[in-house]
Amino acid sequence: MRNDGEPYDVLPRFANDHGVLWPYAVAYDQIESGWVDSRYVGALALQLARSYKPRDHGLAAFIVLSCKWPSADTTSALNLLGLAHRVAASSHPWLDRLVGHAALQCLKAGLCDPRSIVSEGAANVFGGLGDHHFSTARPDDIDTLRTCADQVLEAIDQREIATLLSERIRHVLDGVGSRSPSAIADVGASSMIREIESCWPVIAPSKHDLAPLAALKSHVTALAWRFETRGPGAVQTIYVYSDHAGAAVEDGWAIVAPWSATVRSMLGRAQLRRHAELGKRKAKPAKVQFRTMDAMSGSLSITMRVETDEGLQADLTTTLRSGEGVIDDGEAVGDLDDLRDLLRNNNLHVRIAHVEADGNSASIAISPTEEPAKMIYSSRKLKTGEVPQANEPDRIFALVDCIAKNQAVTAESLGVVERQVQYYKAAARILELVTPAPVQLTRTGWLLHVATGDDKYRRFRATFESTPCGQTWIEWAKGTKLSDVPLGSAVEFLTERSELSGDTISRRASTLDGWLKLLRSY
């Protein structure tokens, strides 16, 4: 990679071609040179900030933010500060502590940098930091940052700018307050490592993968093959998605046949082996039925019931873990080859989600839009205008009622302050309850207006599920309905799947988490 051209040109292409673990490959390459070319530090920081996924990239951010400060490379210094701002909380507190600590050290270096373009950039970043940045900050760390920031602000000759930056920084530090940080050394490293190990990567087909089953089985045994014992049958959900926007819905359906054949042949052989061990003469392959239960409109999420008995399920788990006999089995390899080739030729990835016995049927999304269903949401980020900021659904109901009755939508009629009216109007447009100018109710809006009681909230839930935001969130959570989305996950979701940043994420997340908590029971 070091000889392939300009780092800022090479890295985006590399990231695009090498799956979610690409930053670790870059770090591996740079270690050998001792990170001698600071442009790689800057390019890595910029590319990470552009496509940051806390769970997958937290360790990479920790590595690059810990690099030697680029005192002669302004662009790289700015990009490190950009990454320090961008890193967001994940569901792994220990990973967050590592990353937060590195981000604050980076901030300190930026504030103390003699180049005013860098130090003022650091002051700008400082005002947008969140609580997760300060989880390991001690009081004297905070004092040092405050002192460095004050010196930078004093030197800014445009007082209006200095005042705004100062207010933001003070607000951030007031929020940190007198919290007692947890030192990393206070808790055993083993619990930290266990937590970080739970960041499972996505399987991507590789040209160098000589044992397709081996590539699949670690992921499959970790996530998919947890059969329950409550009753016969199990439910598999397969998510097929692409990093490229051109993927077609048909590509996902094409996965079903080779996947079904693969599982069927594995289960059949597992039973044959079991019967042979038990001395049964007339053993024959188990009857394995795949029955499609549900599919989410516009995505490549396919839910199927696999009907077989518990013994076979255990056999399959054992078979997959050991890999014995399956790789060499002509028929099984043939099925896997088909699957592997299909994935590779179409730039598709497969994530086999949880398996649970007798899962409830997922609700099929009601889509009021004429937008064609296409698998775009996992390959692009949500825009600002697609994420609502309207904490109280009842105000949206009031807005819909006003329009239905031909009444003006005002702060008084919604029961909000004036500046919030535009946010509720925007939310109604996002939910496609109303048309853009001239503002009128859509069919969905009318359905919401006439519904009463619990039905109103059920329709609201279905409407939200069918929006780009709702669908992306469900897909991100590897679910098939809103109630599959974990409570409190909106910050992590928006960090990974939207163009939002800074305080905007927390504000919008407040809306999404509130809606989720209210609507999941409907």
Partner 1 sequence: MDHRGRHQAQGSDIHGGDRSRPWSQVDPYPAADGHTHLSALEAELGKAAAKRREICFKMAHRFIEKAERAGGVGPTSLHFPAGRPGEDTDIRVDIEINKGLAFI
Residues in contact with partner 1 by the rule CB under 8 A: 8-9, 39, 42-43, 46, 49-50, 74-75, 78-79, 82, 115-117, 120-121, 124, 128, 158, 160-161, 164, 167-168, 170-171, 383-385, 389, 419-420, 422-423, 426, 500-504, 507
Q: How far is the CB of 75 from partner 1 (least distance, A)?
A: 4
Choice between 302 and 396, CB closer to partner 1: 396
Choice between 6 and 197, CB closer to partner 1: 6
User: What SS3 class is residue 90?
Assistant: coil
Residues 52 and 87 sit within 8 Å (Cβ to Cβ):
yes
Q: How far is the CB of 159 from partner 1 (least distance, A)?
A: 11
Contacts of 72 (CB under 8 A, 6+ apart): 38
Question: What is the rounded CA–CA span in Å between residue 385 and residue 508?
Answer: 11
Choice between 70 and 258, CB closer to partner 1: 70
Residues 395 and 433 sit within 8 Å (Cβ to Cβ):
no
Choice between 11 and 95, CB closer to partner 1: 11
Q: How far is the CB of 38 from partner 1 (least distance, A)?
A: 11
Token look-up 């996924």 returns 53
DSSP string, 308-372: --HHHHHHHHHHHHH-TTTTT-HHHHHHHHHHHHHHHHTTEEEEEEEEETTPPPPPPPP----SP
Question: What is the rounded CA–CA span in Å between residue 454 and residue 467?
Answer: 21
Question: With DSSP H G I counted as helix, E B as strand and the rest as coil, what are the percentages for the chain, rounded to 5?
Answer: 60, 5, 35
Choice between 294 and 513, CB closer to partner 1: 513
Question: What is the rounded CA–CA span in Å between residue 234 and residue 231?
Answer: 8
Q: How far is the CB of 155 from partner 1 (least distance, A)?
A: 12
Question: What is the rounded CA–CA span in Å between residue 176 and residue 165?
Answer: 17
What tokens were used for 123? 């002051």
Choice between 118 and 220, CB closer to partner 1: 118
Choice between 168 and 269, CB closer to partner 1: 168
What tokens were used for 264? 């069927």
Choice between 216 and 416, CB closer to partner 1: 416
Contacts of 119 (CB under 8 A, 6+ apart): 110, 111, 112, 113, 152
Residues 358 and 477 sit within 8 Å (Cβ to Cβ):
no
- HSE-CB for 261 with a 13 A CA cutoff: 15
Q: How far is the CB of 410 from partner 1 (least distance, A)?
A: 18
Q: How far is the CB of 227 from partner 1 (least distance, A)?
A: 46
Phi, then psi, of 357 in degrees rounded to 5: -75, 140
Q: How far is the CB of 85 from partner 1 (least distance, A)?
A: 8
Q: How far is the CB of 440 from partner 1 (least distance, A)?
A: 18
Q: How far is the CB of 151 from partner 1 (least distance, A)?
A: 17
Choice between 2 and 171, CB closer to partner 1: 171
Question: What is the rounded CA–CA span in Å between residue 74 and residue 42?
Answer: 9
Choice between 3 and 158, CB closer to partner 1: 158
Choice between 119 and 480, CB closer to partner 1: 119
Choice between 8 and 522, CB closer to partner 1: 8
Token look-up 């996530």 returns 223
Residues 195 and 95 sit within 8 Å (Cβ to Cβ):
yes
Contacts of 164 (CB under 8 A, 6+ apart): none
Q: How far is the CB of 171 from partner 1 (least distance, A)?
A: 3
Buried (b) or exposed (e) across 428-459, using 16+ Cβ within 10 A? bbbbbbbeeeeeebbebbebbbeeeeeebbeb
Q: How deeply is 293 buried, as exposed, middle or buried, from its count of CB atoms within 10 A (0-12, 13-18, 19+)?
A: middle
Residues 235 and 357 sit within 8 Å (Cβ to Cβ):
yes
Q: How far is the CB of 465 from partner 1 (least distance, A)?
A: 22
Q: How far is the CB of 127 from partner 1 (least distance, A)?
A: 8
Residues 20 and 200 sit within 8 Å (Cβ to Cβ):
no
Choice between 318 and 420, CB closer to partner 1: 420
Q: How far is the CB of 91 from partner 1 (least distance, A)?
A: 25
